[in-house]
Amino acid sequence: MKITARSLTFDVVDGGPADGDPVLLLHGFPQHSGEWAAVTPALHAAGLRTYALDQRGVSPGARPEGAEAYRIAECALDAVAVLDELGLPSVHLVGHDWGAICAWHLAIRHAERVRTLTAVSVPHPHASAHAYATDPDQRERSAYIKVFREVGRAEELLLEDDARRLRRIFDGSGLDAAGVDAYVRPMLEPGALTGALNWYRAMSPLDLVGLGPARVPTTYVWSDGDRAIGATAARTCAEYVDADYRFVPLAGISHWIPDQAPSEVAAAILARCLA
């Protein structure tokens, strides 16, 4: 379905029983709502209604120009506006990668709209910031962000040679060539990769101002094979949740948890939503 909100048009994939408790699913980079395709069947079987949102920059009808339009506060407001259009006062919220960052902001700054939070891969933003400031290993893991923020140069590097480097981002994910292509192909559309990279380019220390602890029941799922998020950030997350908190570490799984371990992700979501 297509939802028009905030003068933008978002693609949303919905499924499950019409009267089920609603779950909003937010994807990461360089992915789209399809990253939840292997997770949602278990949620539907348990009676949940899911809405997987193609976020700002990924939905073709939601690609405003300029990096400033992609500040995380704007992305969180998109989700709120989509919930308004769907007539959903509150939801169980799930996010992976950038979707997790957006979910943290949504759960903290718009807590009345969030029943529970399940964050996958990326911990509370203050946990990430603390690790970056104190842990050389995390700074090394995050070095790619500097490249992604280079306007034009990042697009050139990622798209050259049939998007070879963009495809290699998924190394270790367990996806076959067709699975990788399903994520990469939409990024080849005019403006798509720039819109997705603008999330990185809009990053600012101001994003953390006033961002307190999460005060909704929260589950954080992390994998020890994640090349982007190390153990320092993952294990610090608990300090920034002032509610029931569950930490679900997965062994031997890459950053691409929903693709590589959908059953484990579904189980963590269900344990949180149905608690």
pLDDT single digits (tens) 187-199: 999 999 999 999 9
Order of strands, sheet of 245-250, starting from the edge strand that comes earlier in the sequence: 2-5, 8-15, 48-53, 21-26, 91-96, 114-120, 218-223, 245-250
Longest dimension (CA), the chain: 48
**What pLDDT score was predicted for residue 236?**
97
128: confidence class by pLDDT, cuts 50, 70, 90: very high
Q: Parse the chain into domains and list their residue ranges.
A: 2-273
CATH architecture, domain 2-273: 3-Layer(aba) Sandwich (3.40)
The values of phi and psi at residue 52, to 5°, are -100, 115
Query: What does the pLDDT read at residue 75?
Result: 97
pLDDT tens sequence across 215-270: 999 999 999 999 999 999 999 999 999 999 999 999 999 999 999 999 999 999 99
Encode pLDDT of 23-54 as tens digits. 999 999 999 999 999 999 999 999 999 999 99
Residue 164: name the closest of 134, 145, 184 by CA: 184
How confident is the prediction for the chain on average, in pLDDT? 97
Q: Is the pLDDT score of 102 beyond 90? A: yes
Q: What is the pLDDT, as a whole number, of residue 27?
A: 98
Strand partners, 3: 10
- Whether the per-residue pLDDT at 152 is higher than 90: the answer is yes
Average pLDDT over residues 163-176: 95
For residues 254, 258, 263 and 266, what is the CA-based torsion angle, rounded to 10 degrees? 130
Segment 154-166 shows an average pLDDT of 95
| Whole-number pLDDT of residue 10 | 98
Q: What is the pTM of this model?
A: 0.97
What pLDDT was estimated at residue 266?
98
The token pair at 167 is: 């495809």
Residue with tokens 């050139």: 156
pLDDT of residue 275: 82
In the DSSP assignment, the letter for residue 115 is: E
